[in-house]
Amino acid sequence: MRKSVIMCRLVGILAMAVAVFAADVARAEPVKIRLGIVPAPASLVPVMFGTPNIAKHAGQSYVLEPVYFQGSPVQITALQAEQIDIASLGFSTFSVAIENAGMKDIRVIADEVQLGVPGYGGTSYMVLRGGPVKTVEDLKGKVIATNAIGGALDMVAKAMLQKHHLIDKRDYTVVEVAFPNMKSVLLERKTDFIVSIEPFVEDPELQAKARELFAAHDAMGPVALIFWTARTGFLQKNRAAMVDLIEDYIRALHWCWDPANRAQAVAIAAAATKQPVERLNQYIYTHKDNYQDPDALPNLGALAANIRVQKELGLIKAEVDVPAYADLSLVKEAAQRLK
């Protein structure tokens, strides 16, 4: 009889412990995820949280804190210093993170934007119509503008110029200019060459007074422009929340690119970028826009080819085994949930 009473008490205590544990789990705080992003609409993060019922897991398993950067190079330092948990990098900064910053634990986890994909828009490298620059060779001795020195678009320009025997610092000068200011520095002749992306390239005055000297794909073919990266320690610790975040991101991709939602998606992007709806409506979420993989699957082949060009041009020293620095299991699991 005494043993039965003891056993009942033990079972009762165990049941209480299980109930307390379950309650603690239920009350567990969502994982805070700090995501480095570039300005919208290249990044869909503002759209994700500007549209009802898109980010279904937000506030549940994770809380996203977007951290804005003009370009990707500074994100390497922020990721290394644990100031952000996900960095939106391009091929140029990804190789630098591995080679110079020594982040052997960095992994490609999801895609954002690709350039040079047949049938889609790209990035224009522009000069003045009727100006002194007729060919790439004419940029010798000139000032060129880039959004972020060391970033992917900067590296594409330098690769093209180096193919024409023009070397940075020896043959031309590079200055950093924010995308919204590119038009003014070119038209005011403060620079001789700019890089312009959507929606800024649609500006009627820019189109009237400037012309494309070359496009990104002319320099490097398909370009892995923006993709998400994170460090293995963070991924292992927060895998479930990360899969939920990527699922919400893919859902946002599907919603934005659905023609039925386009008017609302354009309006949200206009609010995020402070650009006129009429201008964004000319290209966004159409084949004039940059390519975004519908399942956020990175193009590792393009990434490897881009980094190989960097190596051939002497812009980096070592080869990068791209598949060894990718973990696509999260994005594949997230995409499978939406099938």
What pLDDT shows up at residue 45?
83
Q: How does strand 124-128 pair with strand 62-68?
A: unpaired
* Integer angstrom CA distances of residue 230 from 39, 65, 122, 180: 19, 15, 26, 29
Bridge partners, residue 289, by sequence:
none
More confident of the two residues 50 and 321: 321
Q: How far apart are CA 36 and CA 103, in angstroms?
A: 17
Give Cβ neighbours of residue 104 (< 8 Å, ≥ 6 apart): 98
What pLDDT shows up at residue 48?
72
- The CA-based angle 110-70-61, given to 5 degrees, is 40
Domain containing 138 equals 124-220
Of the candidate ranges 6-10, 153-157, 328-332, the one whose mean pLDDT is the lowest: 6-10
- Do 229 and 318 lie in one domain? The reply is yes
Hey, what are 151's tokens? Answer: 């970033």
- Do 186 and 322 lie in one domain? The reply is no
Residue 134 has φ and ψ, to the nearest 5°, of: -105, -35
What pLDDT shows up at residue 251?
95
Residue 338 has pLDDT above 90, yes or no: yes
Say if 244 falls within a structural domain: yes
- Do 159 and 227 lie in one domain? The reply is no
- Do 73 and 197 lie in one domain? The reply is no
- Do 211 and 231 lie in one domain? The reply is no
Among 38, 35, 44, smallest CA distance to 289 is for 44
Residue 330 has pLDDT above 60, yes or no: yes
Say if 18 falls within a structural domain: no
Are the CB atoms for 285 and 266 separated by under 8 Å?
Answer: yes
Say if 7 falls within a structural domain: no
- Do 59 and 193 lie in one domain? The reply is no
- Do 93 and 129 lie in one domain? The reply is no
- Do 108 and 228 lie in one domain? The reply is yes
Last residue of a domain, one of 169, 201, 220: 220
Q: How far apart are CA 61 and CA 12, in angstroms?
A: 31
What pLDDT shows up at residue 22?
39
Residue 5 has pLDDT above 50, yes or no: no
What pLDDT shows up at residue 92?
87
Say if 2 falls within a structural domain: no
Q: How far apart are CA 254 and CA 295, in angstroms?
A: 8
What is the average per-residue pLDDT within 6-16? 41
What pLDDT shows up at residue 167?
93
Task: Report residue 73's pLDDT band, with 50, 70 and 90 as the boundaries.
Answer: confident
- Do 202 and 237 lie in one domain? The reply is no
Say if 274 falls within a structural domain: no
The count of domains in the chain is: 2
Hey, what are 54's tokens? Answer: 């898109």
Among 70, 77, 84, 80, smallest CA distance to 36 is for 84
- Do 109 and 130 lie in one domain? The reply is no
Average predicted confidence (pLDDT) for the chain: 88
Are the CB atoms for 285 and 51 separated by under 8 Å?
Answer: no
Of the candidate ranges 58-62, 250-254, 312-316, 329-333, the one whose mean pLDDT is the lowest: 312-316
The CATH number given to whatever domain includes residue 50 is 3.40.190.10
Say if 21 falls within a structural domain: no
pLDDT digits (tens, 9 = 90+) for 26-68: 447 999 999 998 766 667 787 777 777 889 999 999 999 999 8
pLDDT digits (tens, 9 = 90+) for 274-314: 888 988 898 889 998 889 999 999 999 999 999 998 888 88
What pLDDT shows up at residue 220?
85
Among 136, 139, 142, 179, smallest CA distance to 160 is for 136
What pLDDT shows up at residue 272?
81
- Do 111 and 51 lie in one domain? The reply is yes
**H or E, element range at 154:** helix 152-163
Say if 13 falls within a structural domain: no
What is the average per-residue pLDDT within 163-179? 95
Say if 43 falls within a structural domain: yes
What is the average per-residue pLDDT within 199-218? 92
Of the candidate ranges 42-56, 134-148, 188-202, the one whose mean pLDDT is the lowest: 42-56
Task: Report residue 271's pLDDT band, with 50, 70 and 90 as the boundaries.
Answer: confident
- Do 83 and 161 lie in one domain? The reply is no
